[in-house]
Structure 1
Amino acid sequence: MKTKEIVQSKIPDPRNQDAKIKAQKVILGFKKELVEFFVRLRILRIVFRHFQNPVKVLKILKTLDSNRRKISGPGRVNKFIKINGRYFWNLYIPGSNSLAFDRFFEAEINRISPIPGKTNRFSNIFIAFTKKCPLKCEHCFEWDVINKKEKLGLNDIQMIIKKFQLKGVAQFQITGGEPMLRVDDIVEMIQSSHKGTDFWVLTSGFNLTYANAQKLKQAGLTGVVISLDHFDPESHNLFRGFKKSYQWVEEAVRNSIASSLVTALSICVTKTFVSESNLMRYAELAKKLGVSFVQILEPKALGHYSGKDVQLAPEQEKILEEFYLKMNFDKRFRDFPIITYHGYYQRRVGCFGAGNRHLYIDTDGDLHPCPFCFSKTGNALDGSLDDSIAELQAKGCHSFNDSNIR
C-alpha cells in the first residue's frame, strides 16, 4: 500500500452533529480527596477479600503505597480524570469502579503476598493487530515487516486474547502497524471477549472517524493513545512521513473525546526535541486539544532507528524527569494532562516488560519483552504459553535490571 494512495476523508466536526460531547472532567480539591478516599477503600476491600489478618492487610497496603512512590514519584495524586463514571489517574492503571481495576490490584497484591489460585503477573499485554500501515514513521519499530502479508487472522487474535484473559489480564493495548485499518475486526474482537478487561487502541489517528470512534466505544473500547510527535504540524508530518498526519491527529482527538473515550497523546522525544520550552509547548497543545494523558517515549535503536545513535543524553533524561514531576505534582499544572514517562521508573526500579508486568505479541504471534525490545521467546498460539512466559521472565530485560518491586 503506497502512502500517496491513502486518502482520509474530511471528518465533520461532531459538535455540529446531534451527538452530545462528554469531555473529560478533571477532579480537583476536596472532590479529589473524596475520590481518592473511595479508591483506597476499594483497594482495601480487595485486600480483605483475600486476607483477613489485619496485620497482614496493613503490611500489604503499606507496601502498595511504597511501590507507588517508587514508580510514580514522591508526590500524591493531585487530580483524577472522570470519564464514564470511572476515575483515572494513570494511563496504565484501569480506572476505578471496574473489574479491570480489581484485577490489576489483585495482580499487584499477589506480588506482595501470594493469593491462593492467583497466578497472573500481567497488567498489560501489547498485541500488534496488523502489519499494514499507510505511514513511514521515522522511529517505526516494526519497519522490517510493515505492509507485508498478514499472518494472524481475527480467529487467531481472538484465541490469543482469550488465553491471556483466562490469566486475569487487566488491559490489552492494540497496536500495529496501524490497527485502525482493521477497525471492524477490532470491534468484533472486543465484543467477543470476556467482560472485565480494558481495551485500548494505539493509533496514528488514521481512520479514527467519528463513526468509527462510536463503533469502538459501543463495542467496549476504553480509550485511544494517539501519536503526536511534535507540536509543529510540519515537523510531525515529516516525522510520520505523510503530509496529512497532523490533521488526522486533530480529528482523531476530537472524535475520541466526543465519543467519551479516554484520550491520550504519545510522543517519541528525539535528541533535537528535548528541551524545557519544547516540552511546555507540547503540553500547552495537549491541554488545548483536551486530552487526559500524555505519554513520553524515548527513542530506541530498533526497526527504522536500528544502528543509529538515537539514545538521549543523561542531561536530556534529567530534563524529562523534572518535567514529568513538575507537571504531575506541582499544583500550578493541575489543569494540564497527566504525564506518563516510563524512563522515570525504569531507571529506578527496572523494566516492567519481559513478562514482569507486560509483554509484546508481534504480528506473527511471537512473544517479546516489549514493543521496543525484540527477543523472540515462543509463540502465543503454538506450544506451551506458560513455558514461553517463564523463559521470557527468566531472560528479563536486557536494557534494565529486573524490577525490585515484586
Structure 2
Amino acid sequence: MARIVTRVEYDVVRILMVINIWWLGVKLYKNPRTAYKVVKRLISNFQDMIGNKKLVRAFEIEGKYSWDMFNPAWPTPGFNTFFTSHLQEIKPTDQSQLGLRRLLIAITKRCPLACEHCSEAGTLYNNDVLSCEEFVSRIDKYVKQGVGQLIYSGGEPLSRFNDLITLISRYKLRCDQWIYTSGFGLTLEKAHQLKQAGLNGAAISLDNHVEQNHNMFRGSSKSFFWVHDAVKNLQEAGVLVALNVCPTKTYIESAGVEELIELAKKWNVQIVNLLEPRAVGNYQDQDVELNVAHKDRLKKISDQFNFDRAYLNYPTVLYPAGYRAAKACGGGISYLFLDYDGTLYPCPFCKVKMPEIQQKAALCEA
C-alpha cells in the first residue's frame, strides 16, 4: 500500500530528486553550469504550468517516491532515462536522442466491454496483428533512443496477459511501466505476476461512483466489480494505483467528480486522472466536448485537492488538459502512440500517421 509523504520528508525527497536530475545533466552536457541552467529551466517550466503553487503530497511504495502517473518514480532507472530525455528536449546534444520520454502502446484491440465513449471504436475487437516479438522489435528502438516510460493499453491489455508479462519483464530494468486497464480479470495472482515482472503502476478506468451507472456506461454488469477488485489486488501486490475518469458534462454538473474522488479516498487510491471526452470513436460527431465552465470546474477541483493542505489525505487529482494554456500537448514531441498494427500516431486521439522517427513539431491538440 502506498504511503502519503509530506512536510520534511517531502521537501528532502524533492531536493534529492532535483540533485539527481542535475547530475544527469552534468553527465549529458559535461558541464555543471550548463546542467544547472537546463534543470533550472525545467523546474521553471513546471512551476509555470502549475501556477507557481506547491503540491502538498507525494506517495512512497517500497522506497520509491511518486508524484503522479506521468513521471517515473524516484529513484529508478526509468526516472533517469525519462529525465535525461526531458533534458534533451530542452537542450539537445545529439539528434539521435530527440527527447521522446513516453511511448503508449496498444498491444491489442480485444476488449470485454462496450464503452459509451470508446475512442477506438473503429478498430475495437479487431484481431491482433503484431506478435509479441514484433512489438519487441519496435519498442526496442525507442527504448534505445531514450524512452523512459512505457504505457500498455488496448483494447484491454490484460487480454494478452502472457505477452504483457513478457514485455514488462523485458524493460523492467530500463523503463517505468504502466497499464491502462478496465481491471478485467485482474486477480490477486495476476497482480503479483505483474508486480514481479516489473509493473510500476496501473490506471484503472472508472467513470461513475455509482455502480449501476458505471456499468451502464461501460456496457457490462461486472465492470464496477472488476475495477474495485483490481484496485484491491494491485494494492496488495504493491503496485501504484490510479483511476482514469472520463466525466461527461452531466456528471460534472451533478458534482459526480467530487463523489468519485471521495470513493477513491475510501479505496485508498492515490491518483485520480481526469480525461476530457473527445468527439472521436463512439462519440464521433456528438456534442460531448466540455465547455469553458466544465473545464474551469475540473481545474478548480484539481487545484483544490493538489495544493490545499486541508485535503492532504485525499488522492492527487490530475487534469492534464487544464494546463494546456501553459504547456502545449506533447503528442509527437515528448510522447507517441504505437497502435496494435504498428502504426505510429502523436496520441491515441489524433489519427495523423507519423514516420518511425518522430518529428520535432506538435501534431496534436489533444
* Alignment TM class, shorter chain as reference: over 0.9
SS for the counterpart of 1:131 is coil
Counterpart position of 2:315: 337
Change (3 A) 1:145 1:51: closer
Please state how far the C-alpha of 1:136 moved relative to its aligned partner.
Answer: 0.2
Counterpart position of 2:351: 374
Change (3 A) 1:340 1:158: same
Q: Which has the larger radius of gyration?
A: 1
- Indicate yes or no: 2:35 matched with 1:68: no
Q: Which runs of 5+ in 1 are unaligned?
A: 1-22, 379-384, 401-406
Equivalent position to 1:148, from 126, 129, 148:
126
- Indicate yes or no: 2:174 matched with 1:196: yes
Please state how far the C-alpha of 1:193 moved relative to its aligned partner.
Answer: 3.4
Change (3 A) 1:394 1:105: closer
* Higher deviation after alignment, 239-248 or 111-120: 111-120
Counterpart position of 2:159: 181
Q: Deviations over 1:236-278 (max 9, x none)?
A: 0011000110011000000000000011000001111114832
Q: Which amino acid aligns with 1:322?
A: K
Change (3 A) 1:262 1:309: same
Change (3 A) 1:373 1:36: same
Q: Which runs of 4+ in 1 moved over 6 A?
A: none
- Indicate yes or no: 2:229 matched with 1:251: yes
Instruction: Provide the rounded CA distance (Å) in 2 between the counterparts of 1:222 and 1:55.
Output: 33
Equivalent position to 1:212, from 190, 196, 220:
190
Please state how far the C-alpha of 1:188 moved relative to its aligned partner.
Answer: 1.4
Q: How does 1:87-106 map to 2 (within 5 A)?
A: 87-106=65-84
Equivalent position to 2:295, from 302, 310, 317:
317
Change (3 A) 1:58 1:163: closer
Q: How does 1:385-396 map to 2 (within 5 A)?
A: 385-386=356-357, 389-390=358-359, 393-394=360-361, 396=363
Q: TM-score, normalised by structure 1?
A: 0.86
Instruction: Provide the rounded CA distance (Å) in 1 between the counterparts of 2:182 and 2:223.
Output: 7
- Indicate yes or no: 2:279 matched with 1:301: yes
* Higher deviation after alignment, 240-249 or 276-285: 276-285
- Identical columns (%): 33
Please state how far the C-alpha of 1:339 moved relative to its aligned partner.
Answer: 1.6
Equivalent position to 2:335, from 330, 354, 358:
358
Instruction: Provide the rounded CA distance (Å) in 2 between the counterparts of 1:104 and 1:193.
Output: 13
Q: Is the 8 A contact 1:71 1:344 kept in 2?
A: no
- Indicate yes or no: 2:129 matched with 1:139: no
Change (3 A) 1:194 1:266: closer
Instruction: Provide the rounded CA distance (Å) in 2 between the counterparts of 1:79 and 1:280.
Output: 19
Q: Which runs of 5+ in 2 are unaligned?
A: none
- Indicate yes or no: 2:41 matched with 1:41: no
* Higher deviation after alignment, 54-63 or 326-335: 54-63
Matched residue count: 366
Change (3 A) 1:110 1:277: same
Q: Which amino acid aligns with 2:333?
A: N
Please state how far the C-alpha of 1:343 moved relative to its aligned partner.
Answer: 0.7
Instruction: Provide the rounded CA distance (Å) in 1 between the counterparts of 2:9 and 2:327.
Output: 32
Counterpart position of 2:248: 270
Instruction: Provide the rounded CA distance (Å) in 1 between the counterparts of 2:180 and 2:335.
Output: 16
Equivalent position to 1:284, from 238, 253, 262:
262
Please state how far the C-alpha of 1:307 moved relative to its aligned partner.
Answer: 1.0
Change (3 A) 1:342 1:238: same
Q: Which amino acid aligns with 1:396?
A: L
Please state how far the C-alpha of 1:123 moved relative to its aligned partner.
Answer: 1.6
Q: Deviations over 1:67-106 (max 9, x none)?
A: 1113333212321100121100021000111111111111
Q: Is the 8 A contact 2:89 2:98 kept in 1?
A: no
Equivalent position to 1:226, from 204, 208, 219:
204
Q: Is the 8 A contact 2:10 2:57 kept in 1?
A: yes
Q: TM-score, normalised by structure 2?
A: 0.95
Q: Is the 8 A contact 2:73 2:176 kept in 1?
A: no
Instruction: Provide the rounded CA distance (Å) in 2 between the counterparts of 1:394 and 1:198.
Output: 25
SS for the counterpart of 2:110 is coil
Q: Is the 8 A contact 1:137 1:241 kept in 2?
A: yes
- Indicate yes or no: 2:10 matched with 1:29: no
Q: Is the 8 A contact 1:217 1:259 kept in 2?
A: yes
Q: Is the 8 A contact 2:109 2:125 kept in 1?
A: yes
SS for the counterpart of 1:200 is strand
CA RMSD of aligned residues (A): 1.7
Q: Is the 8 A contact 1:173 1:201 kept in 2?
A: yes
Q: Is the 8 A contact 2:336 2:347 kept in 1?
A: yes
Q: Is the 8 A contact 2:68 2:316 kept in 1?
A: yes
Instruction: Provide the rounded CA distance (Å) in 2 between the counterparts of 1:123 and 1:105.
Output: 8
* Higher deviation after alignment, 329-338 or 190-199: 190-199
Equivalent position to 2:56, from 78, 90, 93:
78
Q: Deviations over 1:174-202 (max 9, x none)?
A: 00011111111111122233621111111
Change (3 A) 1:60 1:243: same
